[in-house]
Amino acid sequence: MVVLLNKAKNVLLDVLFPPLCLNCRENLDDRNNLICQNCLGLIQFNNTLFCPVCRARLAENKKICHFDSQYLLAAAGNYDDTVLQNLIHYFKYRSFQNLAPILGEILVKYLNLLNLKSLNPKSFIIIPVPLHSKRQRERGFNQAKLLAEIIAKKLNLETSEALERIKPTKPQVKLKDTEERRKNVADCFTIKNPELIRDKNIILVDDVFTSGATMDEAVKIIKKNGAKRIITLVLAKA
């Protein structure tokens, strides 16, 4: 009886509120998909790592410039990709938490496109960029943590929440000046237990990379506590 009632409810929902693709607004066959296959296929994937300072492509996954940078940037796509931008917006600002599996798969696909054999990806642990506890209560979830968990499960890697945000900060998107952004996140992170990251290679996960201020600050404290190689992984870079 319960199964029949649920089916009837779903049929009624589909009639009254037909599921629409979040990007093109066309009808979907399954309301659990959220985006149609046509739109998903429009996303343009990158196939290299990048310099986090000048955004130069690193075709051989090693530095060719800005050798003093402490990490490499891995960005699945670019923020001017309207499909990817829309998905990130719904995920981050409109609480579409169930987009996490789709976006997680995008990151996994991108990682599979990279030739990371020389970096030995199995030697890495995954750390999500944390939200401050107040911000996480407001949003209801940490988008970076959801993505990190999906990647770790798909690639059979260990995750750690060693990184902690101890200072509430303004949303970076509201600060247009790079210097303002750097001041906003200065000293906002700490490491709860340095033993968790000492001598480890780290994949640091977040949703987007714009000015790089947040990642720079997170990498600084991670490096200070003894981590070795760091790759920052995001869905899109500006």
The 10s digit of each residue's pLDDT in 9-27 is 444 444 446 889 999 999 9
- Half-sphere exposure for 65 (CA within 13 Å, toward CB): 12
Q: Cα–chain-centroid distance for residue 204?
A: 9
What's at 116, amino acid-wise?
L
Distance CA 41, CA 21 (A): 13
Q: What is the pTM of this model?
A: 0.89
Query: How do residues 70-128 score in pLDDT, each as one tens digit?
Result: 999 999 999 999 999 999 999 999 989 999 999 999 999 999 998 776 667 678 999 99
